[in-house]
Amino acid sequence: MKNYHPPERDLWQGRSSGNGQYLHECVGLLELERSTIQEKGFVILGYACDEGVRRNQGRTGAIEGPDAIKRELARLPSPPHLGSSLWDAGNIGCVDQDLEAAQHALAEKVKDILNMGSFPLLLGGGHDIAFGHFTGLCAHLQSNESIGIINLDAHFDLRSCANGANSGTPFYQIARELQKQDRKFQYLCMGIREEANAKMLFDTARELGVSYVPNSDFHLGNTNALQKELDNFFEQTDKVYLTIDLDGFSSAYSPGVSAASPFGFSPDIVLWTMKQVINSGKLLSLDLAECNPRFDRDGQTAKLAAGLMHYVLRHNELF
């Protein structure tokens, strides 16, 4: 597959303990085109593509995001229970600006990872990662299983794809695909900023039955209401796909993104939300989108992304 790039050991470097105390010392390399794993594990797969961002008139550079996050993750300590259940499966790239082919390739690899019994941890790349990711999840699930999407983001990403896909269209594309399959579109977006979404996007969200929490309500002082929102969402779906757009964070925490703004949420409410999703027992897969090292400060955004990934590795009850 021309879009697939095998994992690189050079990305996994750091302080040496000699007994596997750091992630770079215990991560395995998994070349999906040649081998599989028999035991359950976490499989990291990059989506090195910012063609969707370019089409959406954003600032490019997120193509470098997956490798930057892996480098930061490599230096972090290995959770005691993790053992050898973490794998780097390389990256999906975008060839000749063919975004659709990249999304298709991503979907195939996500399905492969799930079919191994493992948990996909995807790193972007533009938020168009979501369409390929979700397509792979649906291909794995039974037709009678429902999957809901929780998106922590400043933007709905519900733009029309009439003129082609981009980083602003993935959830609109998902809604249309589910409509064709006569399946319900279950989408909860948390952290929505009014100044970052045109009226037509709010209108589209209403037409598609999207639930959302405005950024002004997405904070630790409002967890009682947020818990009710999440519990109601969990009751309506069999599985949950969690996607986190790093441009939803305030640029004080996440400057290296495709569309930075100081008016965003903070890491504490995201970690709280991740905990609720994990504790639901329904989390099937997770991705992080829009890490753009070209505009980062001292690797701050990549460090934030790595920290979020590490939280999943530490606090999961998935295996």
Phi and psi at residue 129, to the nearest 5°: -55, -30
Asked if residue 247 belongs to a known ligand binding site, the reply is yes
Q: Could you tell me how many helices (H) and strands (E) the chain has, helices first?
A: 10, 10
Asked if residue 96 belongs to a known ligand binding site, the reply is no
Asked if residue 157 belongs to a known ligand binding site, the reply is yes
Cα–Cα distance, 245 to 106 (Å, whole number): 18
Eight-class DSSP state of 249: B
Asked if residue 98 belongs to a known ligand binding site, the reply is no
Asked if residue 268 belongs to a known ligand binding site, the reply is no
Indicate the SS3 state at residue 77.
Answer: strand
Phi and psi at residue 268, to the nearest 5°: -65, -40
User: Token digits for 255?
Assistant: 């400057």
Length of the chain: 319
Asked if residue 50 belongs to a known ligand binding site, the reply is no
User: Token digits for 19?
Assistant: 């007994």
Cα–Cα distance, 187 to 282 (Å, whole number): 15
Annotation: binding site? 127, 153, 155, 157, 245, 247
Task: List binding-site positions for Mn(2+).
Answer: 127, 153, 155, 157, 245, 247
